[in-house]
Structure 1
C-alpha cells in the first residue's frame, strides 16, 4: 500500500506563490531585502530584471530605493552563483550563497584563466596573475569605484592580451582585463558599484571590498535548501538541482539535513516541502503581476507545469530556455508583455481569463509604466512574443 501524504493542490501551489513570492498586494514587501529573501535570490544577469523583479514585490518605492540597497547600504549584493549565473541576494544570505556555490565557481574560474595564460606561451603564470590582481585592488583603493576601462588605463597588466585556442578554429586574441575583474568578483574581493548611466545599465563601476565570512559548505547548502523549500515548495530534488547547479550528491545531502516532508500533488506525483509546511494555503486576494524576463517566479523550478500551460511556452521562452517578460494572474502565467520605443507597456493574454483578469492586468501595466517612467527596457534574452509585441 502506498504511503498517505498530505495533499497540496495546484490551486494551493499558486496561492503559495502569490503570498511567499510577495506578488499578491497584501503580501508585498516593505524593503528590498525582504523582496529578495522571499525568493531566495533575484536574477541579476540583466540589470533591468533585478529592478523590475524587486518592483513587483515592493509595497512602495522607486528605482532609488533599490539603488540605495545596492550601492549605499550594500544590503543587497550581486554574486556569481547558482548555475554560474549572476544573482542578487541579501547581505545576510550572501555568506551562505558564497560558501555553498560561489566558492566552487571561483576555483573553476581561476583554473580556467591560468590554463589560458599558460597555453598562450608568454610566460604568464599564477605569480603574474596575483600581481595583476593586487595592482587592480591598489588602483581601486586610489581611484575609488571605477569601470573596467578605467582600471585598465591605470593598471598596465590589465592591458595584456592573450590568444585563446591557438591553432584551433576558434582561435581568438582577447584582453585579460574582463577575466581578471570577473575573477576578483568571484572571489568576493570586489563588488559591482553604481553603473555609468541609469538603473538599466550594465556598465558597472567596481569597488574594493572584503571577502565574505566563511561558512562550512555543507551548512551553507543546507541553509540555501531550507530557504528554497519554503519559497518554492512543493518541489522536487530535480528542481533544486536545476536551480542551484549543485551535484546530485550535494542536493541530496542538503535535503537530508533539512528533513523535508513529502506531499501528494494533483498529478499523482510527490513533492517536497519544509518540515511541517503541509497546511492548506488559502487564496489571497485576486492579483496580477507583470514580471521581467528571468524573474525567479518563472525560473524557480525545472518543471513549471503548475503555473504555465505548455502550449504558451514557445512564445514566452527564448531558444536557450530563458523566460521572457510574463503576465501573471492569480499564480498562473497567462501571457506576456513588452515596452515599445515610445514607452508604452503592451501585453497579450493568449487565452480569455475573464474581465477581472483583463482589468487587473491593465491596472498593473499602468503601475509599471508609471514606475519605469522615462527608462526604456529591452530584455537581454528576447522571446518571440516580446519581439512581436514591439514590432
Structure 2
C-alpha cells in the first residue's frame, strides 16, 4: 500500500459498525426496508433471523413481525432469494438485478449443469424434457401466484418424478424433480421464496415468480454491489470481500478499481473503503448494547473478525460449520451470547468481562426485556445451534 493511506483503528471501526449497521440507539431505523437497505442483505437461511435482525435495529420493535411480513409478502419491497456464496438472503427488491448478475449467474450455470448431469447418469429424461417441465411449472406458478411444490405438481405431474442420485455410492439418494428444479430456478432468478406455511419462524415456504428485473452487465453489477457493501461495512480487506461475495480475487480487484475504492491501513493490513469515505467518523452519542440473532449479518459480515470478536469466544459462539449463534454486543464488540428458554425468558451470559460494569449489564438486561416483549408467546430455536445457546436454552 502506498504512503499516506489513513490508519483506521479498532475504535473507529466499531463506531462505523454501530452507526451504519443501525445498532447504536441514535441510528436505529423506522422500517424493515431501512434496515435491509442499510445492511445490503439480511441472512435468510434461518427464517427467524430476518425478523430478529430487523427487530434488533428498529427504534420501535413492537410491529416487527407485521411490518417485516408486509414488506416481504404484501408490498414485496423485500425479497428472499439466493445470493452471495449460494446462500439465501433477504434483499431490497431494487437490488435483485444487481445480486442476480453479480453473484447468481455463475452459480446458476453450475446448478443447471449439475442437475442435467445427475439426471443423465440416472437414465432420467433429457434437457428438452426438463425444459418443458420448467416452462409448465412457471406457467402454473404465474396462474397461482404462490404455491408449494406439491401444489405445483398438481398442475405439472412430472414434477413428482424421481431419479437416483449417486447410485452405488455411500451418499446415494433419491431426488424428486421438483426439489432440484425449483432450486435451479431459484438461483437462476426465476423464482423466489414466498409466504411460509405456518408462522414467521417456519422454514417451509411457498414459491413465487421473481420480480422482473433488467439483465445487467456482470462487471457493472459487481461494482455496484461492492460499492453498496463498502458503504455499509467498510473498511474491509480483500479477504473479507472475497469471502462475503464468493467471487474470485480478480473480480474483487476489478470491482474495487471500478468504484475508485480508497485503500486504508488496518491492524490486519490493507483495507478498503468506498471512494470519499476514508475520513474520520464520530463515535455514537452514547454506549450501546444489542442482542443479535444467529447468522446476523453484522456478526457474519467479515471473514477477519478479531476487531469485534475475540478468538477465545468462538468455540462457544459458533457451530462446527462456522455459523454464529445469538450474540451479545457492547459498544461494538461481541462479549457473550443469549438464548430463549421454553418459558420465553431471554437468558444471556457475558464471556468477555473486560470493561463490563453495571452500565453494560443494565443495558443488556434492557435489550433482553425489549426482545422478550415483542416476541411475546413465540419461541425461537436457531436452525444452527451452538454450545452456549444450547446451554443457556436448557436453563
Distance 1:3 1:210, change over 3 A: closer
- 8 A Cα contact 2:344 2:372, kept in partner: yes
- Give deviations 1:234-283, integer Å, cap 9, x for gaps: 11111000000011111111111112212223x37232111121222221
Q: List alignment gaps of at least 5 residues for structure 2.
A: none
- Give deviations 1:51-76, integer Å, cap 9, x for gaps: 11111122233211000000111110
| Paired position in structure 2 for 1:242 | 243
- Equivalent of 1:385, from 385, 388, 392? 388
Equivalent positions of 1:164-313 (< 5 A) are 164-265=165-266, 267=267, 269-284=269-284, 285-313=286-314
- 8 A Cα contact 1:79 1:102, kept in partner: no
CA distance in 1, matches of 2:351, 2:298: 20
CA distance in 1, matches of 2:146, 2:334: 40
- Equivalent of 1:370, from 369, 373, 383? 373
- Give deviations 1:326-369, integer Å, cap 9, x for gaps: 01111110100001111111100013311111011000011111
- 8 A Cα contact 1:338 1:386, kept in partner: yes
CA distance in 2, matches of 1:2, 1:21: 29
| CA apart distance, 1:31 | 2.1
CA distance in 2, matches of 1:343, 1:226: 40
CA distance in 2, matches of 1:142, 1:223: 34
Deviates more, 1:140-149 or 1:364-373: 140-149
CA distance in 1, matches of 2:239, 2:50: 25
Please state whether the residue corresponding to 1:57 is helix, strand or coil.
coil
Q: List alignment gaps of at least 5 residues for structure 1.
A: none
| CA apart distance, 1:171 | 1.8
- Equivalent of 2:109, from 103, 107, 110? 107
- 8 A Cα contact 1:152 1:158, kept in partner: yes
| Paired position in structure 2 for 1:96 | 98
- 8 A Cα contact 2:146 2:207, kept in partner: yes
- Give deviations 1:21-52, integer Å, cap 9, x for gaps: 01112111222122112111110000000111
| CA apart distance, 1:143 | 3.3
CA distance in 1, matches of 2:105, 2:387: 36
| Paired position in structure 2 for 1:68 | 70
| CA apart distance, 1:210 | 4.7
Structure 1 length normalisation: TM-score?
0.96
CA distance in 2, matches of 1:268, 1:320: 24
- 8 A Cα contact 2:264 2:271, kept in partner: yes
CA distance in 1, matches of 2:110, 2:281: 42
> What RMSD in Å do the two structures reach over aligned CA positions?
1.5
Please state whether the residue corresponding to 1:62 is helix, strand or coil.
helix
CA distance in 1, matches of 2:17, 2:209: 37
| CA apart distance, 1:167 | 2.5
How many equivalent residue pairs?
Answer: 389
Distance 1:150 1:268, change over 3 A: closer
CA distance in 1, matches of 2:96, 2:203: 21
Equivalent positions of 1:72-87 (< 5 A) are 72-87=74-89
- 8 A Cα contact 1:188 1:212, kept in partner: no
- Give deviations 1:183-223, integer Å, cap 9, x for gaps: 22222222222111111011111123454211111000001
| Paired position in structure 1 for 2:146 | 145
CA distance in 1, matches of 2:2, 2:88: 42
Distance 1:119 1:279, change over 3 A: same
CA distance in 1, matches of 2:311, 2:255: 31
Deviates more, 1:275-284 or 1:326-335: 275-284
Please state whether the residue corresponding to 2:94 is helix, strand or coil.
coil
Please state whether the residue corresponding to 1:297 is helix, strand or coil.
coil
- 8 A Cα contact 1:99 1:214, kept in partner: yes
| Paired position in structure 2 for 1:121 | 123
